[in-house]
Structure 1
Amino acid sequence: MNTATRGRYGLLSFLICCATALSPCFVVDGWRAAPLLGVWAGLAGLRWYHDDREVVTDCLVFGVLSALWNWGTLKKAVLQEWDAKLVWSWVGFALLLATVAHFLGHGRKDADLLLEGVSPWTLRYPKARIFPCTTKHARMFPKRHAFEYSYLQCGFPVVPAGVDADKKGVGSGSDSQLGSWWMCVKAEHYLNRGNGARGFYNKLKTFLREQRVDDGEWSYAYLVTAPRFLGYAFNPVSFWYIYDADHHLNKMILEVNNTFGERRMYLLDGSNVAPVLPQPTTTNASGPDLTVGAKSRFNDIWMKDFHVSPFNSRKGSYVLRAQDPFPHAMFDDPVIDNTITLISSKDHAKLVARLNSTGKALDPAKMGILDTIWFVLNWWWVGLVTFPRIVKEAGRLFFKRKLHVWFRPEVLHTGIGRQPTQAETELCKVFVDYLFVQVNRAQKPLSITLHTAIPDYPVRIIATTQVPGHTQAAKELVIRILSPAFYSRFVHYAFTSEAFDRECVFTDEKNRTLWISRPELLPLLLEKSISSKALPTTKRSYLDELRWAFLRKLRCAPAPPAYAISTPSKAEITTEDVRTLPFSPMDRYVRSVYLHALSGQYRRTVTKLFLAQRLTFGFVEIVGLLDLIARVLLCSICFFQLGVIRAQATKADIYGYTANTFKDRALGAYFKEGTEGHGEWWWLIGSALSVSACHMYGLLKGYN
């Protein structure tokens, strides 16, 4: 859907992939295979011109299969031509260039430079620490269950780069990544998704402002989380300690992630009185000295509204008892000791989870090379086994304890849905354009604030385009997409009103994939649906119309929600939708001249979703895997055909095209000799089709 791929760099990358794919065949067969490989390259170029992204994958598959198929001959030819010393010289030179480029790229950060009118931030704050910890879980009822594991946490200060004239903190974006290359955290993975270039401080400030926290109520934060160890991390919960200018812990943020990729940030201010609950013995009998007005522990209670475990419902409340790891800014012996208790809806302590330090916190700034190596050898595996440990304990609860399983409900508007797939990201762009058309077709002015659930463009304002001098007050409507799954479900509906009804208005709260602030405005938005005659359409070939007819034939209802609205009894009669489903209004909009550039990719994406729902229980990944297997098999046909040509050409003493063939303009003689040696002209055509079978398969899918 992005035509920019046909730019200079897109052409260069395609040519490199194409040359890499064809090189093994040319090394083995020489000019003998030139005619057929020329056809292969030409069809690949046609696919690239029409923005078929799969052509790069097919080139790579073709190149790998070609190298494996001719490995013996290829290895012999390469070893005969290459000088080993020259090869190692080039390898060493490439490594040297890569090293120099790495240091040049990291030698200076422009983000570290302060803006004009911003002075450096001079307030003292805690430094980064590494906390070896232990996590303990104890389930009280309905069945008792407990476990304890080692766990690694790291703490990073989130501070402003400077202060402005009003003494308010200003972020520069230089804190987009904290830590070192082997153990770090990235801003894009915390709080609201995406926008990593803004840095931790700016993202935190934005989040607190959205929660109506004034900038003067806090100064900086200290993040305690599981770091990305060698590029991988899984964080069930991260703790944000929010301090004011006097280093008083006045707020905390608990950033909770479940195994489904969803997220909920709980902002706590300690104002709610936590009930008295039995607590495990703390590590310190007497706390450190505190500054005036500070408190050693942070306590709060709040309602649960986020699905974490399949063995707990979304009802109940949480109680937090957390120790301030830094009683004062320069405290050199910080300790993590946080206990979270899950209270059931009947006010019983159901589950107690505790995270506490098991040793002295480490200062990464004081760790030498040997200390770092020893630390990595001892802790590298902990982050990798976090998710397997969760699965292991879940298996015990299900198979051994026989606990009831609660299906995953969709997140509420206070949470954040999972990461979108590529298909959902592309469908979101079409959905935004479609909403714009609907808004401007409405009888009265509308202004929609759309929260897309897409990290790259989280919010879109869609308003009626008004003529100057004839402006009217627009009715405001907020639409919040709760889960990116809304986009892949929306295309299943042939009627937009039905989609909004089933995904939001007339469904259980646990099934909602979007939230609408004023549902009464939906008739105003949808009163004039896009018809086939309302928009000018573009001419399509007969084959392209067949593809669209195939999409229309495949259209079906989306997967049923996890929580049924009603369960029919045996006496009730079940109904089935037997309507002949037309093109949806969004289909008709995409088929118009306005979105002609996106129509091909949209059709292929939607067709893939429909095939997945009908054939593979909704798993698009299985359809993609089957498609990849088909393309690999079609690429394999090429090598069988080239093998036949090689054997027959060698037997008949035919060497195919050579440089002299072009110089002497003896192409006709070559084709005459080829047809006499191998059969009729249809044999050459069949060979060309066999060699380029993967491209013919791609062309059959259609383009923009």
Structure 2
Amino acid sequence: MDTLFLLYISPWLVLAVFTAVSLFSLLRVLFTSRQLVSLSDTPSTVIGKPLLFPVTFNHKRFTPAKDRFTNQFLFVGVPVGLKCRIGNFLAVDDPSLDLYSSFSLKRIFSHLSCWFSFDSRRYLHRGDQVDLRDKLDEYLLSIDEKPSQWPHAYLLGVPQFLGFSRAVVSYWYLYNAEKELDAVILEINNSYWEKRNVFLRLNGSGKAANNEDKEHYLDALHLIQSLPSSPHSNFYQGTWDKKIFASPFEKVDGQVSNRFMDPLQPASWKPNASFANMTTLDETSGTVKMVTRMTCSGLPIDPCEMSAWQVLCFVLRWTLPGMLTTGYIVFHALRIRFTLMRMMKKPPVRMGSVGRYPTKNELNLEKIFRAYLASCVERCSSPVKVEYLPCRAMNSDTVYMTSPSYNEKEGQTITVEPADPGFYTRFAHYENVRTAIMEEIQLTNHEADPTARRLLLSHPDLMAEILTISSSNA
């Protein structure tokens, strides 16, 4: 009886505790100073300043069925390289917050000290305990670009609330030495917790208005100097090939054209200005399939200049939409599914994309597979080099393995990359190694991506031979 009673009241108890804790946290936000305080003693120079961007997304589909819908999000813009707190309202790269544990009560309570937060863990490649600037530099180096080309950057993304957030897309605006917008990194996230980072250089068009902003310091101690951007153009454009299953109603392949405005310039904040446009084209005919237009729902807000009443209204208005992003996406997907279009099954991710988060068991199995692969290569009599990239959802570093007889003139190089974390579980259940290799490299014949494979392998027969012979000689 007592157990049944506890089971009955526990949801209400959890709700009551959550409500009380949220109210306490909100009171701390309202009645503490919201001056920007640097979390580093080292002077730094950044571009722009933290701003709150309430935005509206307008989606319009033209083919194969016509449809349109609108939703609203809160974006927060932060200068990349800035580590700060603005009272208990916003934290950027704050090491006191629990950033690296999974979503849990421990993580939630850690984030109660700040209503919204930004950290580097969930951006670009996953993991790594480095700040946003270091994360950006690592990514640029991984795609053979020099970070020195863009000494300034500004990130526009969905903030975390109690350590949780769900973002469809994040924007990294990269500025050259002349402080002009020169490139953009798009972080595309789908509903399956998969992502793909897209880098594109931009071409300007149209003449920009005169910029009257001046350099100034963001904090009272004059540790953080903010620079204004210096646009020469009103719009900046770029195109890229879509290689991610972004929607269950769209195939993986396609071409996307983007047009941006400089987010640090007042011209982009007007209600009728196209803050960012994304046009999806058919990969064969080039016809427009869908257009997404992002506009500002109002002028961006400087959190340091908000009154307690403004903060209260803002928090009540914009916290919930961020928490309900997934539900909103699911609602519209079901509406389209039952009224307009058929949903396609999710294919394995393409090379270069990041798969879903791995389970603890998959992480352990990956270590076993890596050790097994290394031991097989070490016992291999042929001159081979294996470049093994664990599923990108786990790690973005390539592991190099060479046999004792390998040399660059005569040896062969084999590249191995599982497309998703589930590979390690499946591999352990096959009858033998050769069967596992040959099955995993087969085309999955998904409608959304006919070229998809669960294992990306350059020399299947040679790899199967190495694993089989080495195992039999063990």
For normalisation by structure 2, the TM-score amounts to 0.75
1:112 alignment counterpart:
40
* SS of the residue 1:353 aligns to: strand
Residue 144 (1) aligns with residue 82 (2): no
**Corresponding residue for residue 436 of structure 2:** 499
Gaps of 5+ in 2: 7-27, 29-36, 84-92, 100-110, 212-228
What does residue 114 of structure 2 align with? 181
Which is greater in Rg? 1
> Hey, what's the Cα distance between the residues in 1 that align with 2:140 and 2:458?
22
One-letter code aligned to 2:236: F
1:131 lines up with 2:53 in the alignment: yes
Aligned pair in 2 of structure 1 residues 160, 215: CA closer, same or farther (>3 Å)? farther
The answer to whether the 8 Å contact 1:317/1:342 transfers is: yes
Correspondences of 1:378-527 after superposition (within 5 Å) = 378-401=317-340, 403-453=341-391, 457-459=395-397, 461-464=399-402, 466=404, 472-473=407-408, 475-504=412-441, 508=445, 510-519=451-460, 521-523=462-464, 525-527=466-468
Equivalence for 1:289: 210
* Shift in Å, 1:510: 4.4
How far does residue 297 in structure 1 lie from its aligned partner after superposition? 1.2
CA contact (8 A) 1:301 1:320 kept: yes
CA, structure 1 residues 465+504, in 2 after alignment: closer, same or farther (shift >3 Å)?
closer
Following superposition, the deviation at residue 507 of structure 1 comes to: 5.4
* 8 Å CA contact 2:280, 2:291 repeated in 1: yes
CA pair 294-317 structure 1, distance change in 2 beyond 3 A: same
Match of 1:190 in 2: 123
Structure 2 counterparts to residues 369-380 of structure 1, below 5 A: 369-380=308-319
Contact 1:249 1:324 in 2 (8 A): yes
Write out per-residue CA displacement over residues 71-120 of structure 1, whole angstroms, 9 at most, x where no aligned residue.
Answer: 9xxxxxxxxxxxxxxxxxxxxxxxxxxx9xxxxxxxx99x8355xxxxx4
Question: Measured at CA, do residues 254 and 454 of structure 1 come closer, stay the same or move farther in structure 2, by a change above 3 Å?
Answer: closer
SS at match of 1:312: coil
Q: Which residue of 1 aligns with 2:89?
A: none
Instruction: Tell me how far apart the structure 1 counterparts of residues 195 and 394 of structure 2 sit (CA, whole Å).
Output: 17
How far, CA to CA, are the matches of 2:156 and 2:96 in structure 1?
Answer: 16
- State the Cα deviation string for residues 123-149 of structure 1 (Å, max 9, x = none): x52001001111111111222111112
Tell me: CA distance 1:174–1:389, structure 2 relative to 1, closer, same or farther (3 Å).
closer
Task: For residue 304 of structure 1, report the CA deviation from its aligned partner.
Answer: 1.5
RMSD: 3.4
Q: Does 1:264 align with 2:203?
A: no
2: CA distance, partners of 1:323 / 1:225 = 16
CA contact (8 A) 2:393 2:421 kept: no
What is the CA–CA distance in structure 1 between the aligned matches of 2:172 and 2:95, rounded to whole Å? 16
When residues 306 and 333 of structure 1 are mapped into structure 2, their CA distance, relative to the original with a 3 A threshold, is closer
Give matches, 1:261-340, under 5 Å: 261-270=193-202, 288-290=209-211, 294-327=232-265, 334=269, 337-340=275-278
Pick closer, same or farther for the CA change 1:320–1:528 going to 2, 3 Å: same
User: Does the 8 Å contact 1:436/1:462 carry over to 2?
Assistant: no
Partner of 2:323, secondary structure, is coil
Q: Is the 8 A contact 1:233 1:383 kept in 2?
A: yes
Identity, % of aligned pairs?
Answer: 28
CA contact (8 A) 2:354 2:392 kept: no
1:367 corresponds to which of 299, 306, 317: 306
1:264-286 Cα shifts (integer Å, max 9, x gaps): 11101025x99xxxxxxxxxx99
Contact 2:241–2:255, Cα closer than 8 Å, also in 1: yes
Per the TM alignment, residue 362 of structure 1 is displaced from its structure 2 partner at its CA by 0.6
Cα distance per residue 1:47-75 (max 9 Å; x no partner): xxxxxxxxxxxxxxxxxx9x84999xxxx
The answer to whether the 8 A contact 2:254-2:282 is kept is yes
Question: Taking structure 1 as reference, are residues 498 and 347 closer, same or farther at Cα in structure 2, changes over 3 Å only?
Answer: same
**1:354 match:** 293
Q: Contact 2:255–2:282 (CA<8 Å) still a contact in 1?
A: yes
- Given candidates 190, 206, 211, the residue that maps to 2:143 is 211
Q: Does 1:341 align with 2:269?
A: no
C-alpha separation between the residues in 2 aligned to 1:454 and 1:239?
21
Unaligned runs of 5+ in 1: 1-64, 72-98, 100-107, 115-119, 162-172, 275-284, 536-704
**CA apart distance, 1:463:** 2.3
CA contact (8 A) 2:55 2:72 kept: yes
Letter in 1 for 2:457: I
Residue 381 of structure 1 aligns with an amino acid whose one-letter code is L
| Per-residue CA distance 1:373-417 (angstroms, 9 max, x = gap) | 22111212111222112111111211112x132221111112111
- Which of 154, 168, 186 pairs up with 2:76? 154
SS at match of 1:222: strand
Q: CA deviation at 1:438?
A: 0.9
Matched residue SS, 1:212: coil
* Structure-1 separation of matches of 2:425 and 2:66: 40
Opposite residue 312 of structure 2, the aligned amino acid is I
What is the alpha-carbon distance in structure 2 between the residues aligned to residue 515 and residue 140 of structure 1?
34
CA distance in 2, matches of 1:418, 1:506: 20
What is the distance in 1 between the residues matched to 2:188 and 2:247? Answer: 12
Residue type of the partner of 2:421? P
Query: Could you list the per-position Cα deviations for residues 156-178 of structure 1 after superposition, in whole angstroms to 9, with x for gaps in the alignment?
Result: 110278xxxxxxxxxxx868979
Judged with a 3 Å threshold, the aligned counterparts in structure 2 of structure 1 residues 333 and 462 are, in CA distance, closer, same or farther, namely closer
Indicate how the Cα distance of structure 1 residues 439 and 206 shifts in structure 2: closer, same or farther if over 3 A, else same.
same
**Cα displacement string for residues 538-578 of structure 1 (whole angstroms, at most 9, x for unaligned residues):** xxxxxxxxxxxxxxxxxxxxxxxxxxxxxxxxxxxxxxxxx
Distance 1:510 1:175, change over 3 A: farther
TM superposition shift of 1:316 = 2.0
* Rounded Cα–Cα distance in structure 2 between residues aligned with 1:341 and 1:456: 31
Greater shift, 134-143 or 448-457, is seen at: 448-457
2:308 & 2:194 partners in 1: Cα distance? 37
Structure 1 counterpart of 2:209, which letter?
P
Call closer, same or farther: CA 1:210–1:237 in 2, change over 3 Å.
Answer: same
CA apart distance, 1:338: 0.8
Higher strand share: 2
Instruction: Spell out the pairing of 1:531-546 with structure 2 (5 A cutoff).
Output: 531=472, 535=474
Secondary structure of 1:319's match?
A: strand
User: How many aligned residue pairs are there?
Assistant: 398
Q: Residue 514 of structure 1: CA displacement?
A: 2.3
Task: Map Cα deviations across residues 9-52 of structure 1 (whole Å, 9 max, x no partner).
Answer: xxxxxxxxxxxxxxxxxxxxxxxxxxxxxxxxxxxxxxxxxxxx
Question: In the aligned structure 2, how far is the partner of 1:134 from the partner of 1:240?
Answer: 19
The answer to whether the 8 A contact 1:129-1:361 is kept is yes
Deviation at 1:461? 2.4
Partners of 1:427 and 1:465 lie apart in 2 by 23
Aligned to 1:697: none
Separation in 2, partners of 1:174, 1:360:
27
Describe the shift of the 1:510–1:433 C-alpha distance in structure 2 as closer, same or farther (beyond 3 A): same
CA distance in 1, matches of 2:327, 2:82: 37
Q: Is the 8 A contact 1:131 1:362 kept in 2?
A: yes
Match of 2:31 in 1: none
1:366 is displaced (CA, Å) by 1.9
Amino acid at match of 1:307: F
> How big is the shift at 1:224?
0.8
**Cα separation, 1, equivalents of 2:444 and 2:393:** 27
1:219 CA displacement: 0.8
